């Protein structure tokens, strides 16, 4: 998949994901059960965190690291950070994270496979997976 195809796929998946989480009524955003123990708020934060992290990984790859290690931050700490943020704060961070990872992808002349994988896994694959879970919960 080339850069343009990756960006197009990410854009479509993001728009669908944003429509799904945007439809969550305020009184259901914090309700757990989308997946066991997680709310819509939690999953939007989770996607925001990992898109931002993928942006960092792409920046590191572009800086010369061949295949940077995955985060060693425990998921419960990531989750707690998001739970300390307002809904609007999580949405803002999600948009900023999305911009970071897209900008990082655009910084490559030739896309190495690890950059493609980081981008794919932590943007559109993630949005699609968790968007479907949120949609099911809200139905």
pLDDT digit string (tens) for 12-56? 999 999 999 999 999 999 999 999 999 999 999 999 999 999 999
Q: Which 8-state DSSP code applies to residue 69? A: P
Ordered domains of the chain (ranges, CATH): 3-138 (1.20.120.450)
Mean pLDDT of the 109-137 span: 96
Q: Give the burial class of 37: count Cβ atoms within 10 A of its Cβ; 0-12 exposed, 13-18 middle, 19 or more buried.
A: exposed
Residue 29 has what pLDDT? Answer: 97
Beta strands in 22-87 (DSSP E): none
- Provide the residue count of the chain: 139
5 pLDDT above the threshold of 80: yes
Residue 40 has what pLDDT? Answer: 98
Residue 45 has what pLDDT? Answer: 98
Please tell me the pTM assigned to this model.
0.94
Residue 63's CB: how many other CB atoms inside 10 A?
Answer: 9
Determine the 3-state secondary structure of 3 from DSSP: helix
Backbone angles phi, psi at 112, to 5 degrees: -75, 155
Residue 70 has what pLDDT? Answer: 73
CA atoms of 25 and 45, how far apart (whole Å): 17
71 pLDDT above the threshold of 90: no
């Amino acid at each position: 998949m080339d850069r343009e195809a990756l960006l197009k796929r990410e854009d479509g998946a993001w728009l669908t994901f944003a429509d799904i989480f945007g439809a969550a009524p305020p009184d259901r955003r914090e309700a757990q059960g989308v997946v066991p123990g997680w709310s819509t708020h939690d999953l939007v934060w989770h996607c925001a965190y990992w898109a931002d992290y993928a942006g960092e990984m792409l920046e590191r790859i572009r800086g010369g690291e061949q295949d940077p290690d995955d985060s060693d931050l425990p998921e419960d700490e990531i989750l707690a950070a998001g739970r300390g943020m307002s809904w609007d704060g999580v949405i803002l961070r999600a948009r900023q994270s999305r911009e970071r990872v897209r900008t990082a992808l655009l910084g490559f002349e030739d896309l190495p496979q690890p950059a493609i994988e980081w981008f794919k896994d932590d943007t559109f694959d993630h949005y699609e997976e968790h968007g479907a879970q949120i949609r099911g919960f809200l139905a």
